[in-house]
Copies of this chain bind each other. A is one copy, B any other.
Amino acid sequence: MKVKLASSYGFCFGVKRAIEIAEKYENSATMGPLIHNQNEIDRLKNDYNVGLYNNLTDVKPNDTVIIRTHGIPKNDLKDLRKKDAKVINATCPFVTTPQQIVKKMSAEKYSILIFGDEDHPEVKGVKSYGEDQDDVHVVLDIDELKNINFKYDKIATVAQTTKKKETYLEIVNNLILKNKEVRVFNTICDATFENQDAARELSKEVDVMVVIGGKNSSNTKQLHSICVENCIDSYLIENAKELDSTWFKNKHLCGITAGASTPDWIIQQVVNEIEKY
């Protein structure tokens, strides 16, 4: 089987930075999973003894605690800083930006709309920076907009960094038609754009497509959904073990892309395996 990699794929700036930070702090622990990739988290545990805390109560005195790329809610950070632990912030700077925008806009009396997944740690963190939590709204699509009552007719909006720009524009357009002022912050990150554009192009020219990434990773799921639009035989896997030889029967060219949290060593294993078919 012939394999072609997307012109842009895999680790983004924020993930690379967070892993470099984690590798620097052996015997530390991350507050929530550092990135959305279990294999890489296992590697950090095995090679650097970087542990994982899921609750603030897990934190012990003199611990070194690393804040995950997606950030954590404002009050959790406040509580964490009160503990007798060393706090290392590996929040992606592109996530810190919407946090600060929500804080500022909400202080300036704008109603806040976040385009994203309410349950995603990044969104929980960004949302927590709103002054008036009753006027910070989270939607995934224009349908969900219908149920929202904004306090003001001035809306400020940010997007989860890994969301699809097309859906963000749909939501924004709807807001513009119904409100006096809409302050649109384009917080979808370039790396996501680039990986998405490259996946779109590649999925048009191949007859089977493999997307490698965490199944709970928002940006990986987006990549998969983009690929399916152009290549019905698009599969989402976390690592080479999940490959199925039947996918490649009677196929000629396999396209490969990977989410922003997928390390190169996993991608290489998948490529090697597919080339054997």
Contact = CB atoms under 8 A, between A and B. Distances in A.
B183 A176 contact: no
Q: Give the number of times this chain occurs in the complex, counting copies.
A: 2
Interface string A178-196: 0111111110000000000
A183 B110 CA distance: 12
Contact of A173 (B173, B177, B181, B185): B173
Nearest to A179: B186
A223 interface: no
B169 A173 contact: yes
B186 A184 contact: no
A165 interface: yes
Nearest to A174: B169
Contacts of A169: 173, 176-177
A172 interface: yes
- Nearest first, the 7 A-B pairs at minimum CB distance are A182-B184, A169-B173, A183-B183, A176-B184, A181-B185, A176-B186, A180-B186
Given A169-B173, A172-B172, A173-B173, 14 more contacts: A165-B177, A169-B177, A172-B173, A176-B186, A177-B186, A179-B186, A180-B185, A180-B186, A181-B183, A182-B183, A182-B186, A183-B183, A183-B184, A184-B184
Interface of A: 165, 168-169, 172-173, 176-177, 179-186
